[in-house]
């Protein structure tokens, strides 16, 4: 297990960098809740800049983000009652991509990503309001949707607080984390984007609430757990803890609350760890894709450690940066 003291930190002044994206240029991107919301850009030198939305009717609360070719972003808007996928351009302009799913208003959106065919995948954790009402073992109102050709359709429903989704290198399998059902689920993936047979890959143990999810070049899955600040690797039927920064007494209190259907925001909005601040995401980057960057819910920086296995290059890894290239020049 990698010692927590070996974690390095990057950038400063971030505001809820829940989801980190790494690009081969060395740029890092993370959601930003300053002002009207947007994206923080971290240069290889560590310099931090913010691209904030302009002229929006309400402040955006980006949870997941996705980098598009040409230097625009997709933001998963985690509104108080409604969600949307919004496109943010490098100059702060925005446009609505979708705020519907199956013809109905979209609940708060959790995560967004592009597959290798540039289809937009969306996860919604829960249909309940407030969302904390579904921090329960019985959670089952989350879903996965796909947006293409101007239409957003639900392709998997009844999930236990849907979080990040990832795809195998051969595009035949999709994996999804169900945070409060405490499982990582596998689906067969069809060419038209439909999700087929569903299988529980891992039922996680006490203290693990799976959130972030990504894949390495060996086909291993990397899972980040909120609250316990755990990084797990799932490979060959085994689950290995790579990093953990948790307080046993706090985890015990959380487990008691969870088992008594009393888990709430106070359990997530505090951190009793040594260095990590409620990690929620992992992105592989660096020259050889062996630097694991950690998004978090509570910190103002991005953590990192050296992975023994390289990450699988994601579709945005070598995306054309367009006007975002100026952040490299500014470095």
Domain architecture of the chain: domains with CATH: 4-330 (2.120.10.30)
Cα–Cα distance measured from residue 320 to residue 69, given in angstroms and rounded to the nearest whole number: 5
pTM of the model: 0.97
Residue whose C-alpha is closest to residue 179's, from 215, 224, 242: 224
Q: What is the mean pLDDT of residues 74-88?
A: 97
Cα–Cα distance measured from residue 96 to residue 330, given in angstroms and rounded to the nearest whole number: 30
Parallel, antiparallel, or unpaired: how do β-strands 279-285 and 8-10 relate?
unpaired
* Residue found by looking up tokens 């609350």 in the block: 257
What pLDDT, on the 0 to 100 scale, is given for residue 25? Answer: 98
Q: Which of the four pLDDT bands, split at 50, 70 and 90, describes residue 111?
A: very high
What pLDDT, on the 0 to 100 scale, is given for residue 331? Answer: 56
Q: What is the mean pLDDT of residues 47-57?
A: 95
What pLDDT, on the 0 to 100 scale, is given for residue 281? Answer: 98
Tens digits of residue pLDDT in 139-196: 999 999 999 999 999 999 999 999 999 999 999 999 999 999 999 999 999 988 889 9
What pLDDT, on the 0 to 100 scale, is given for residue 201? Answer: 98
Token pair of 251 as six digits = 């985890």
Beta strand residue intervals within 12-53, DSSP E: 21-22, 28-32, 38-42, 48-52
Q: What is the mean pLDDT of residues 110-125?
A: 97
Q: What is the mean pLDDT of residues 237-263?
A: 96
Which of the 8 DSSP states describes residue 108?
P
Cα–Cα distance measured from residue 77 to residue 59, given in angstroms and rounded to the nearest whole number: 9
Coil vs helix vs strand at 195: strand
Token pair of 259 as six digits = 């088992």
What pLDDT, on the 0 to 100 scale, is given for residue 165? Answer: 98
Would you tell me how many other CB atoms lie within 10 Å of the CB of residue 14? 24
Cα–Cα distance measured from residue 81 to residue 197, given in angstroms and rounded to the nearest whole number: 31
Percent of the chain whose predicted confidence (pLDDT) is above 90? 96
Cα–Cα distance measured from residue 12 to residue 22, given in angstroms and rounded to the nearest whole number: 17
What pLDDT, on the 0 to 100 scale, is given for residue 35? Answer: 97
Tens digits of residue pLDDT in 133-155: 999 999 999 999 999 999 999 99
Q: What is the mean pLDDT of residues 23-37?
A: 98
Q: Within 130-205, where are the H helices?
A: none
Query: Is 2:243 a contact under the CB 8 Å cutoff?
Result: yes
10 pLDDT above the threshold of 60 = yes
267 pLDDT above the threshold of 80 = yes
Q: Which of the four pLDDT bands, split at 50, 70 and 90, describes residue 60?
A: very high
What pLDDT, on the 0 to 100 scale, is given for residue 330? Answer: 64
Give Cα separations from 147 to 81, 114, 122, 135 (angstroms): 21, 10, 8, 27
What pLDDT, on the 0 to 100 scale, is given for residue 271? Answer: 84
Give Cα separations from 172 to 112, 177, 213, 238, 247 (angstroms): 19, 17, 17, 21, 39
What pLDDT, on the 0 to 100 scale, is given for residue 329? Answer: 78
Q: Which of the four pLDDT bands, split at 50, 70 and 90, describes residue 286?
A: very high
39 pLDDT above the threshold of 80 = yes
Token pair of 170 as six digits = 């051969």
Looking at every residue in the chain, the average pLDDT score rounds to: 96
């Amino acid at each position: 297990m990698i010692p927590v003291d070996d974690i390095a930190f990057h950038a400063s002044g971030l505001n809820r960098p829940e989801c980190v994206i790494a690009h081969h240029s060395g740029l890092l991107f993370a959601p930003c809740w300053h002002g009207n919301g947007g994206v923080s850009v971290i240069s290889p030198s560590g310099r931090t800049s913010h691209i904030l939305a302009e002229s929006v009717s309400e402040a955006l609360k980006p949870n997941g983000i996705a980098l598009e070719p040409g230097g625009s972003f997709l933001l998963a808007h985690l509104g108080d009652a409604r969600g949307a996928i919004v496109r943010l351009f490098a100059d702060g302009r925005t446009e609505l991509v979708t705020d519907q799913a199956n013809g109905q208003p979209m609940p708060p959106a959790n995560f967004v990503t592009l597959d290798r065919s540039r289809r937009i995948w969306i996860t919604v954790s829960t249909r309940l309001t407030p969302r904390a009402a579904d921090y329960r073992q019985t959670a089952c109102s989350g879903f996965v949707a796909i947006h293409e050709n101007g239409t957003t359709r639900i392709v998997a429903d009844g999930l236990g607080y849907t979080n990040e989704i990832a795809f195998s290198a051969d595009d035949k399998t999709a994996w999804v984390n169900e945070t409060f059902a405490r499982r990582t689920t596998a689906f067969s993936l069809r060419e038209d984007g439909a999700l087929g047979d569903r299988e529980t890959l891992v039922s996680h143990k006490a203290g693990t609430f799976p959130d972030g999810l990504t894949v390495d070049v060996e086909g291993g899955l990397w899972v980040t757990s909120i609250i316990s600040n755990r990084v797990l690797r799932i490979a060959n039927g085994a689950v290995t803890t790579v990093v953990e920064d948790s307080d046993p007494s706090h985890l015990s209190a959380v487990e008691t609350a969870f088992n008594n259907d009393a888990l709430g925001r106070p359990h997530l909005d505090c951190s009793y760890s040594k260095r990590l601040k409620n990690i929620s995401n992992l992105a592989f980057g660096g020259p050889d894709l062996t630097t694991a960057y950690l998004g978090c819910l509570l910190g103002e920086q991005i953590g990192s450690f050296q992975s023994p296995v390289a990450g699988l290059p994601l579709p945005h890894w070598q995306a054309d940066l367009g006007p975002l290239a100026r952040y490299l020049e500014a470095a």
